[in-house]
Chain A
Amino acid sequence: MRTGNSLWLLTKKALTGALIGVTISDRYVTLSPVRGSSMHPTFTGSSTSFPGSLKGDVVLVERFCLQKYKFSHGDVIIFRSPTNQKQMFVKRLIALPGDWIQVPESSEILQIQEGHCWVEGDNPASSLDSRSFGPDSLCMLSEPNLIHSVYCQPVLM
């Protein structure tokens, strides 16, 4: 009976801790591993399998910017891919709504519409970003709860 009681207490504490952890991670700050090499040399990615992902950069991501949706040029953001909702990308914000940009490696000039933005990876050779989502399907700035500013760089090496 006593072990049952202590097990119940342990479960309650674990649940409370999980609830608080999830809330903080959704609203304030969270940690995220980086994969792939599209942001080299700013972040060095790692392989996608579990032991491998500990060797890549882990970044601290802050979510306060989601309250007002105010971003600046040059912010590195994490967002959900427009083509595959289960995948998250880390890229740098190059242009905000209302800006005019020239699409790199082509002579097209376009204006970013309201609610959209243009992102590019620091390593253009291997980066799937706004250049490949196509000139019309720009990354949606409005990706919900998913855009966070990467605040500080490698936490774990």
Chain B
Amino acid sequence: MAVGSRAAVWLASAAQRFGSVPWRDISAEAVDRTLLVIKAVCFAHVINSYVVSLIQVRGPSMLPTMNLTGDIIAVDRVTARRGTVAVGDVVLFRSPENPRRAITKRVLGLEGDAITYLVDPHKGDASKTVVVPNGHAWVQGDNIYDSRDSRHFGPVPYGLIQGRVFYRVWPPEGFGFIGQKATSL
């Protein structure tokens, strides 16, 4: 009997503590916090897609402009949407061979330009000239010896270009603008 009444007393006090918790305030605050998180996520998404975003790039195809091992660069999304990409800009675009990869190369020609390129720099001087069709751009890596670019997959449609690389953020020694010419750090 003592056990039963002790349990009853404990249950009663638990129920009282449960009732005294300010549930309405807690739920209001939870909703507020969730809304704040949602707003922050939406804000981050809009900035990332429409204004500027930070990307990490890796690989040898843009040496000496960009390092072999991871640089973090700032990509401006406004220029690509407005269609004002110029020759000499380094752009970030979706790979025509694999839609889930984004790559960075330099634009060497826009629609209507005639591009002369070395077919295979390892094997001599044979070159070809091609005219870039409407709505496309010709991209090449700064390191033509080790870069898979328009010489392999052809000119890239403007719609695939996601942004223009304009600044390097990391590593700190390389902090600065990425210009129109292939330069080292």
Contacts and interface: CB of A to CB of B under 8 A. Distances in A.
Interface of A: 16, 19-20, 22-23, 26-27, 69, 80-86, 113-116, 137, 140-146
B45 interface: yes
Interface in B8-63: 38-39, 41-43, 45-46, 49
Contacts, number: 73
Interface string B123-162: 0000000000111100000000000000000000111101
A60 to B, nearest CB: 21
Given A22-B42, A26-B49, A85 B134 contact: no
B96 interface: yes
Interface of B: 38-39, 41-43, 45-46, 49, 83, 94-100, 133-136, 157-160, 162
A85 B159 contact: yes
A22 B46 contact: yes
Given A23-B41, A82-B159, A144-B162, 14 more contacts: A19-B42, A19-B46, A20-B39, A20-B42, A22-B42, A69-B99, A83-B133, A83-B134, A85-B157, A85-B159, A142-B95, A143-B157, A143-B160, A144-B99
**SS class of chain B's interface: helix, strand, loop or mixed?**
mixed
Contacts of B157: 80, 82-83, 85, 140, 143
